[in-house]
């Protein structure tokens, strides 16, 4: 059953509230709730783990419809680092993904950055960028990375 878009008044609270609704929508595979969280701007951008840059609401919607074709994403945000400035907020976090397989529960971690802007409709998501997954949580090895791209 599709859920109605979130009323703008609900989005006005804080970037943290929008982020909670973002991850709820991802877990539920709720495209309407997810798209209601995005800023009304054709320059919004999303990068799925290992995927290309997707720009604009129509393209972002199509990309998440493809992702949700297999159901919701069993994701839990952790280790959130927040940088809030007047009118914008940047959240860098670890996404824990849990997948049930024949061999049991498998865990993976993704580094993600969510950028929120305060609009006339309240706080909205302007960018979501997720890096390819890792087999162990960031910092678990406690060593330096073996290769740095930039």
**Residue-wise pLDDT tens digits, 53-70:** 999 999 999 999 999 999
Residue 118 confidence (pLDDT) above 80? yes
Residue 94 confidence (pLDDT) above 50? yes
Which token pair is 52? 């290309």
Domain ranges in the chain are: 8-130
| Choice between 69 and 1, residue whose per-residue pLDDT is larger | 69
Residues 10 and 16 sit within 8 Å (Cβ to Cβ):
no
* Amino acid 5: pLDDT: 55
Residue 112 confidence (pLDDT) above 60? yes
Residues 136 and 122 sit within 8 Å (Cβ to Cβ):
no
| Choice between 147 and 77, residue whose per-residue pLDDT is larger | 77
DSSP string, 11-51: HTS-HHHHHHHHHHHHHHT-HHHHHHTB-S-TT-EEE-TT-
Could you give the CA distance from residue 93 to residue 4 in angstroms, rounded to a whole number?
28
User: 8-130 has which CATH code?
Assistant: 3.10.450.50
């Amino acid at each position: 059953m599709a859920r109605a878009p979130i009323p703008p008044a609900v989005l006005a609270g804080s970037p943290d509230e929008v982020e909670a609704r973002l991850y709820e929508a991802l877990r539920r595979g709720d495209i309407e709730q997810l798209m209601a969280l995005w800023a009304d701007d054709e320059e919004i951008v999303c990068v799925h783990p290992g995927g290309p840059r997707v720009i604009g609401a129509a393209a972002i919607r199509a990309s998440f419809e493809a992702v949700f074709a297999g159901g919701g994403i069993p994701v839990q945000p952790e280790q959130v680092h927040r940088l809030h400035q007047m009118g914008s907020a940047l959240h860098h976090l670890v996404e824990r993904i849990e997948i049930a397989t024949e061999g049991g529960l498998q865990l993976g971690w993704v580094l993600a950055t969510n950028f929120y802007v305060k609009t006339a409709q309240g706080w909205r998501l302007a960018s979501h960028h997720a890096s390819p997954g890792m087999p162990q949580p960031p910092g678990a090895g406690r060593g330096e990375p073996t290769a740095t791209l930039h």
